[in-house]
Structure 1
């Protein structure tokens, strides 16, 4: 089922809260079935320092907040799995939902 749904990702930068926002579009075949918006933030006090031969680098643990998630029909769970997999791959340590799941019968 997950392979039959495609996910398009459009990263944006938000000057308002200095975060990266991802806009997702979900499709099944040629039909758009929904969309989502996710903001990413650095977690407070979460700096990890790595020392190598060339330099010491700092990395920040990040979290994601799902601001909007609107999926038609009964495909919400499958789309959410794809979304969470993407967030895990890009290094989000935590994911929070700042939305109410909106299911629509038709778009």
Structure 2
């Protein structure tokens, strides 16, 4: 996974009021694939958390992988890197919004 680079380009969609991410995967100087992911609020419910610094709010979010097109032998490592990024930015759930034509990489 360390030998694959991932470039993230965030975009905002006015149409469906979501944040979309365009990912580019590279190995060395060669582009090996790309992906497109949309993020959405799961509910209109706001979560309030109390801590020593005060009260913070958050909305649970999920991600939908709209497109994932990566060279077959690097698909699994690229998907792991993508899912790790989505977890770090707070996506509670990740769904696939497409038929995967690559080797199975699991959810």
* Partners of 2:98 and 2:57 in 1: CA distance: 32
Which sections of structure 1, spanning at least 5 residues, go unmatched?
A: none
| Preserved CA contact (<8 Å) 1:71 1:102 | no
| Preserved CA contact (<8 Å) 1:24 1:36 | yes
Shift of 1:53: 7.8
Runs of 4+ deviating beyond 2 Å: 50-58
* Partners of 2:101 and 2:6 in 1: CA distance: 18
| Preserved CA contact (<8 Å) 1:43 1:61 | yes
Q: Which residue of 1 aligns with 2:78?
A: 79
Q: Which residue of 2 aligns with 1:99?
A: 98
Q: Which residue of 2 aligns with 1:39?
A: 38
TM-score by length of 2: 0.86
Shift of 1:47: 1.8
* Partners of 1:53 and 1:7 in 2: CA distance: 35
Which sections of structure 2, spanning at least 5 residues, go unmatched?
A: 103-107
